[in-house]
Structure 1
Amino acid sequence: MTQAPDCTADATDSRMARPALVDAVVIGRNEGARLLACLAALHGHMRRVIYVDSGSVDGSVAAARAAGAEVVELDMRQPFTAARARNAGLAALAQDPPEFVQMIDGDCELRPGWIAAALAAFTAHPAAVVICGRRRERFPYVSVYNALADLEWDTPIGLARACGGDALMRFAALQEVGGYDPTLIAGEEPDLCRRLGARGGEIWRIEAEMTWHDAAMTRFGQWWRRSQRAGHAFAEGTARHGFDHWGRETRRALIWGAGLPVVIFLAGVIHPLGWCLALAYPAQVTRLARRGSWRWAFFSVLGKFAEARGALGFYLGQLIGRRRGLIEYK
């Protein structure tokens, strides 16, 4: 007797063999050649590419369309945040949703093999909702500020608490938590990951090259504003989610960047020897240099002043009932 074919098994094998649907959301403004490189690297790896433009005047919209991307132009009469732009891209995908979406900034370029590595990581970690890898600065040698950014991207491998702007995510999980919080001017990714984690989702960082990034920081003022933005994000994140969400970073910024200078000034006014308390700063640089380079240690301590300014700006805004606008460094 001839056995009937197992159609159920064939269907299961077919579903298992079906390639995952992966789309991309790119956000940017006046990125020029960097945007073209970003879109070119995505070509052939995505079903759809959504480019969300935030008021570019350099021809980015036309260039993105010519490169095959679907373009969403934000209404810039409304307050702009990167989170709002990301949500606009996700909304454009909602009618025909993918299984996964690669979130990427327009000044970044996807590395070869990243999507395959990230999809394999999702298979290895069934509870994962976000997979990120190693973001590197393309030109770390151009300035000390680019080099510092490259060090910043090098976070530990394994189960993580947050990702950055570039990551491969489960689209359905993003929809369940309502996407990014558009009111945040910075720190929207850690906030998103916090909400995803509350629903049992896992964030993993794998040892794979993910993107090139071009911070294009060549001036001290750019680095200062970027550090100030980080301080604002620290303070707002702690205010929203409690001390275990950037509480240590907020405390360090306020102590080293605001509290200690006040103590030194008051002590110096009371007695000349009080100014000796300022030696705490070179001592802290020396201590940190044992864990890294002298350059990293120096800027880590100096950056606390900018971070404190950002944090205090957030608290002042809370006090007077006014939200801070964007702190841009480009």
Structure 2
Amino acid sequence: MSAERAPGKLGIVVIGRNEGERLKACLDSLAASAYPIVYVDSGSTDGSAAQAADMVDSVVRLDPARPFTAARARNEGAARLLERFPGLTLIQFVDGDCVLDPAWLGRGIMVHEQSPGTAVVCGRRRELHPDASIYNRLCDMEWDTPTGEADSSGGDFLVRVAAFRAVDGFNSDMIAGEEPELCYRLRSAGWRIQRIPHEMTLHDADISRFSQFWLRAKRAGHAYAQGAYLHSGDGRGFRWREVRSIIFYSALLPLALLFLSLLLGPLLLALLPVTYLALAVRVYLGRRVRKESETRASAAIYATSVVVGKFAQLLGVLEFFTSQWVKKPRELIEYK
């Protein structure tokens, strides 16, 4: 792809690692765009970087001497894009397993033009194959979030360059949860995050096994813990609510009931499944209230995943704090 095009105000950064045909579909969805594209590859072994070379303006191959993270990939992609096209005012970030809706960029640009205090604009991300597995279905449900002013975005979003630079971009050390952490810093600096009711991307999660669901939940726990730790001194409690919930339900509660059963009798252990059932029912009812059009079966699957996922998340929390304590380099938690 020629790098001599007039880029206008917007450029695109795509990140990926061994996405194969998903990456090709992603880049094909961007081909009609007149905007410059940078692809950042995190050590792929499937020829992704070579495949992308003929479809984008520039390819960045991350140095394996430093740990791969999506945050680092996006930062280096943005740096290359702005080096090649310094006049850009907006950057669209896209994950390499996503297909961009053809009408999205125009809608996102319009919101930025009408709202100068907005740093990030995002829309509806949908799962490409929600019926392929309950895990894909859960992803689609997770991404169905309220529109309007939001706390954070996912991995696909349109960001104002001035705002992105003002907070020094992503924290490259985060192995997950880097988008909410970036948005937290943007909101703390007075910027807004806007989620609009328009299609943005189709995502190919490709989660077919419980082990993948477990690793994804573990990664979320790690992200909560790292985000809470990074901002523990600012007094605003970023991510601590999630961390406390994980520790209470998956560690403190069962340990407390076990201890009491040793003192007062084993029948107390019967309270443990009752407590988790009560939590699942509470999540289920809350989901039914917020998502009236959702089926009972979907709400039940979601509620079950929340309860089961807390145990995987605890492992992620423990892994973060252990690595912090022993000063061990953190590694990606991959579920694909």
Aligned residues: CA RMSD: 1.6
Name the residue aligned to 2:40: 52
Cα drift, residue 274 of structure 1: 1.6
Contact 1:38 1:109 in 2 (8 A): yes
The total of aligned residue pairs comes to 313
Q: How does 1:122-161 map onto structure 2 within 5 Å?
A: 122-161=112-151
Alignment match, 2:262 = 269
Q: Residue 277 of structure 2 corresponds to which residue in structure 1? A: 282
Instruction: Please state how far the C-alpha of 1:93 moved relative to its aligned partner.
Output: 1.6
SS, match of residue 308 in structure 1: helix
**Does the residue aligned with 1:135 lie in a helix, a strand or coil?**
strand
Please give the per-residue CA displacement for 1:209-247, whole angstroms capped at 9, x wherever unaligned: 000001111010111011011011111111222453122
The correspondence for 2:64, drawn from 55, 61, 76, is 76
State, as a whole percentage, how many aligned pairs show the same letter: 45
Corresponding residue SS for 1:24: strand
| Distance in 1, Cα, partners of 2:302 & 2:103 | 31
One-letter identity of the residue aligned with 1:225? L
Query: Which of 300, 315, 321 is matched with 2:321 structurally?
Result: 315
Q: Deviations over 1:113-160 (max 9, x none)?
A: 101111111123220011000000001111111111111111111111
237, 244, 257: which one aligns with 2:237:
244
267-276 or 155-164, which deviates more: 267-276
Q: Which residue, 275, 286, 291 being the options, matches 2:286?
A: 291
How far apart are the structure 2 equivalents of 1:307 and 1:46?
42
Question: Which position in structure 1 is the counterpart of 2:25?
Answer: 37
In the TM superposition, what are the counterparts of 1:174-193 in structure 2 within 5 Å?
174-193=164-183
Q: Which runs of 5+ in 2 are unaligned?
A: 1-5, 288-298
Describe the SS at the equivalent of 1:204: strand
For structure 1, list consecutive stretches of 5 or more residues without a partner in the other structure: 1-17
Runs of 4 or more above 3 Å deviation? none
Query: Highest CA radius of gyration, 1 or 2?
Result: 1
Q: Do 2:7 and 2:36's aligned partners in 1 also have CA atoms closer than 8 Å?
A: no
Greater mean deviation of Cα atoms: 188-197 or 145-154? 188-197
One-letter amino acid of the counterpart of residue 177, structure 2: G
After TM superposition, the structure 1 stretch with the greater mean CA deviation from structure 2, 247-256 or 39-48, is: 39-48
- Secondary structure of the 2:92 match is strand
CA distance in 1, matches of 2:31, 2:158: 16
CA–CA distance in structure 2, aligned partners of residues 142 and 123 of structure 1: 39
State the partner residue of 1:260: 253
* In the alignment, structure 1 residue 200 sits paired with structure 2 residue 190: yes
Q: Secondary structure of the residue that 1:112 maps to in structure 2?
A: coil
Structure 1 residue 199 displacement after superposition: 2.4
**215-224 or 64-73: which moved more?**
64-73
Q: CA deviation at 1:46?
A: 4.2
Q: Does the Cα contact within 8 Å between 1:24 and 1:46 map onto a contact in 2?
A: no
- Aligned-residue offset at 1:52: 0.4
